[in-house]
């Protein structure tokens, strides 16, 4: 049975340590923005936009947003279709996760999951006999000078290589790997096998996200690995190529460098989200005082809490300075709501009263 070759280096361990710390903070944060859903929608938009832009899609972020909102825009049909398709892939992943978690202790991945993803990735872009079907031709990627930069395994080997990969993924040994490493391995192996004539990058990244999300590393869906890859495109393609150049034999390639890059990418993304969440609730005792519940805050309350956490409390003068666009009565209502939710308490009764954490 295929088993990927890699070393769990100190860089990988450090990144996974950051990931676990961020995951714990984000999932256990006592205070969360009530507009978290808009954060999630923004992460989806960025995943779709950057996930397709990596492959050459020319739509801007705002154009992608309009396409996802159902608007007609003046742009290339293929670019528009790619965005629609990748948005539908994210919906498919949601459905696959629910399907796999129903009354099952162990999540089993199937080749049909990968084929379903590719079918949507290439809908109305590839012909029906190629969409969702393994390639029957050789794939070679050349540079502008004509030099071969990537040679995929022969088409006749694709079914065997894919079957072997899925056996590993669902095996006892495969399931013992940390989900981040499982997702990273899946991303690389699927790119390396290049099972389809087109759409391999998007399909591979989507399948890696499926593993992360299904195995508890969705982290509230507030991040986009695709955005990190796009912003570090030279490093992304460079480490993939460096790994593939080691040997024509997939099993002989050392994936350590790639897994270091992949785990670091996720760690950086989650650190960013964690810092946003931590600014709201730095007091570790707050969750206990709230009875283990998570409290949703309005956008104005988020600003008030960030100030309270930074300065130890807030008075009306400070509150007016950070919420200058609203009336004092509105500020008082926001503070009273925080008191009702048992997040803060009022100290003093005059105009010099201060609001501090409970």
Q: How many CA atoms lie within 13 A of 61 on its CB side?
A: 9
pLDDT band with cut points at 50, 70 and 90 for residue 103:
low
Residue 284 has pLDDT above 70, yes or no: no
Query: Can you say how many angstroms the Cα of residue 304 is from the centroid of all Cα atoms in its chain?
Result: 29
3 located within any domain: no
Report the distance separating Cα 125 and Cα 12, nearest Å: 37
Q: How many CA atoms lie within 13 A of 330 on its CB side?
A: 12
Q: 170 vs 100, which has greater pLDDT?
A: 170
Angle value at C-alpha 118, between 216 and 90, nearest 5 degrees:
40
Q: Mean pLDDT throughout 49-63?
A: 94
Joined tokens for residue 190: 């699927």
Is 0.85 surpassed by the pTM of this model? no
Closest C-alpha to 41, from 75, 72, 71, 64: 64
Residue 143 has pLDDT above 70, yes or no: no
Angle value at C-alpha 302, between 301 and 304, nearest 5 degrees:
60
Model confidence pLDDT, tens digit, residues 299-331:
788 888 888 888 889 999 999 998 888 888 899
pLDDT band with cut points at 50, 70 and 90 for residue 343:
confident
- 304 in the same domain as 261: no
Domain termination site, one of 224, 251, 278: 278
5 located within any domain: no
Bridge pairing between strands 31-33 and 295-297: parallel
69 located within any domain: yes
- 172 in the same domain as 203: yes
1 located within any domain: no
Report the distance separating Cα 286 and Cα 295, nearest Å: 11
- 208 in the same domain as 177: yes
Report the distance separating Cα 197 and Cα 118, nearest Å: 10
Angle value at C-alpha 160, between 156 and 162, nearest 5 degrees:
110
pLDDT band with cut points at 50, 70 and 90 for residue 38:
low
Joined tokens for residue 196: 């389809």
- 196 in the same domain as 339: no
- 298 in the same domain as 180: no
* Residue 24 φ/ψ, nearest 5 degrees: -65, -45
Confidence at residue 223, expressed as pLDDT on a 0 to 100 scale = 74
- 99 in the same domain as 178: yes
Residue 81 has pLDDT above 80, yes or no: yes
What domain count does the chain have? Answer: 2
- 247 in the same domain as 170: yes
pLDDT band with cut points at 50, 70 and 90 for residue 222:
low
Tell me how far apart the 2 most distant CA atoms of the chain are, in Å: 81
Bridge pairing between strands 344-347 and 354-357: antiparallel
Report the distance separating Cα 149 and Cα 40, nearest Å: 36
Domain termination site, one of 231, 255, 278: 278
Q: What is the CATH number of the domain that holds 302?
A: 1.10.10.10
Q: Mean pLDDT throughout 39-64?
A: 90
Domain that holds residue 175: 10-278
Report the distance separating Cα 192 and Cα 190, nearest Å: 5
Confidence at residue 64, expressed as pLDDT on a 0 to 100 scale = 94
209 located within any domain: yes
- 321 in the same domain as 233: no
- 152 in the same domain as 32: yes
Residue 74 has pLDDT above 70, yes or no: yes
- 112 in the same domain as 14: yes
- 315 in the same domain as 265: no
Model confidence pLDDT, tens digit, residues 203-220:
999 999 999 999 988 766
Query: Can you say how many angstroms the Cα of residue 245 is from the centroid of all Cα atoms in its chain?
Result: 28
DSSP code, position 157: G
290 located within any domain: yes
Burial class (CB in 10 A: 0-12, 13-18, 19+), 70: exposed
């Amino acid at each position: 049975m295929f088993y990927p070759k890699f070393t769990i280096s100190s860089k990988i361990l450090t990144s996974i340590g950051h990931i676990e710390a961020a995951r714990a903070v984000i999932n256990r944060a006592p205070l969360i923005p009530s507009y978290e859903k808009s954060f999630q929608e923004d992460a989806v938009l960025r995943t779709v936009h950057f996930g397709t832009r990596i492959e050459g899609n020319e739509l801007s972020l705002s154009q992608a947003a309009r396409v996802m909102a159902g608007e007609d825009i003046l742009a290339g049909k293929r670019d528009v279709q790619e965005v629609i398709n990748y948005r539908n892939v994210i919906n498919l992943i949601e459905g696959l996760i629910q399907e796999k978690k129903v009354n099952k202790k162990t999540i089993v991945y199937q080749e049909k999951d990968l084929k379903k993803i590719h079918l949507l990735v290439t809908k109305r872009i590839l012909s029906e006999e190629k969409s969702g079907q393994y390639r029957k031709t050789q794939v070679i990627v050349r540079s502008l000078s004509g030099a071969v930069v990537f040679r995929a395994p022969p088409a006749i080997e694709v079914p065997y290589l894919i079957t072997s990969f899925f056996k590993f993924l669902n095996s006892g040994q495969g399931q013992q790997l940390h989900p981040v490493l499982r997702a990273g391995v899946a991303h690389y192996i699927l790119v390396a096998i290049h099972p389809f004539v087109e759409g391999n990058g998007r399909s591979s990244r989507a399948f890696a996200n499926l593993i992360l999300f299904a195995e508890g590393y969705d982290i509230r869906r507030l991040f986009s690995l695709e955005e990190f890859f796009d912003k570090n495109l030279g490093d992304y393609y460079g480490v993939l190529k460096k790994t593939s150049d080691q040997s024509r034999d997939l099993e002989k390639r050392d994936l350590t460098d790639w897994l270091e890059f992949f785990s670091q990418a996720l760690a950086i993304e989650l650190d960013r989200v964690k810092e946003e969440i931590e600014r709201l609730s730095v007091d570790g005792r707050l969750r206990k005082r709230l009875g283990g519940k998570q409290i949703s805050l309005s956008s104005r309350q988020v600003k008030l809490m960030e100030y309270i956490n930074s300065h130890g409390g807030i008075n009306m003068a400070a509150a007016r300075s950070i919420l200058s666009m609203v009336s004092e009565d509105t500020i008082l209502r926001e503070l009273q709501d925080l008191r009702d939710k048992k997040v803060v308490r009022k100290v003093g009764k005059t105009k010099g009263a201060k609001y501090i954490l409970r």
